[in-house]
Chain A
């Protein structure tokens, strides 16, 4: 893909790190963004995170966006959505996922990156797949060229 979706690479690295930490211990489940998944076995969650990361990395290394690349980015978006929801819920209820009570502005300042990455990731996915592909641009250029050529064409014998 031509754009540089750094936010997606950021999510890939973040989820890979989370997966590695979950492979090592149960403690990362205490983090608010991960606590929401604590009902799942940590090895399964690590596998899900790694799979989403690999799919997203595959998608953003393709030359052209397609329905396949869009589908490959959606698992990552789903994980980010749930994490952002957990962060927002922590702000609203004024306590972290592990039960620690803090003022709402404190939690908001702390959890804002999780919410922002969800918004920016969604915007990046939409931007990558909503814009016109090379084939679209070529076709539009060709149409414009034909129109202009017809306009400039001198009147031939048939027009007499």
Chain B
């Protein structure tokens, strides 16, 4: 079987060249679509910065929640004291004084 050498060379070089150029254009198109390309160092720095920002946000939220819980606990304690004072029938004047003190700001 005689095969033309020109065809062989064209095929042997053409198919890999097509593969290479096809992938080249594919990657170029993908990069343009994805926008500016960051280096891995920049990506790592941005991840670290974002992590620190999220940690600070979480700490602030935790402190806020802790303050709310403390305030609610204190309100519950005051309410219980007030209730005890109101229920204490044996000393009506003292209970009334205690209730007035609790209600007073």
- A interface residue numbers (CB < 8 A to B): 32, 35-36, 39, 70-71, 74-75, 77-79, 81-82, 85-86, 89-90, 93, 95-97, 99, 122, 125-126, 129-130, 132, 135-136, 138-140, 142, 145-146, 149
Report the Cα distance A77→B19, complex, angstroms: 9
Q: List 4 extra interface pairs beyond A97-B1, A135-B43, CB under 8 A.
A: A86-B1, A129-B27, A130-B23, A149-B50
Top 3 closest pairs, chain A to chain B, by CB: A74-B16, A81-B15, A78-B12
Q: Tell me if B's interface is mostly helix, strand, loop or mixed.
A: helix
Q: What is the chain B residue whose CB lies nearest that of A122? A: B19
Question: Which of chain B's residues have a CB closer than 8 A to the CB of A36?
Answer: 3, 8
- B interface residue numbers (CB < 8 A to A): 1, 3, 5, 7-8, 11-13, 15-16, 19-20, 22-23, 26-27, 30, 34, 37-38, 40, 43, 46-47, 50, 54
Q: Tell me if A's interface is mostly helix, strand, loop or mixed.
A: helix
Task: Name B26's contact: one of A86, A90, A122, A130 (CB within 8 Å).
Answer: A130
Q: How close is A146's CB to chain B, nearest CB, in angstroms? A: 7
Q: How close is A62's CB to chain B, nearest CB, in angstroms? A: 16
Question: Which of chain B's residues have a CB closer than 8 A to the CB of A32?
Answer: 1
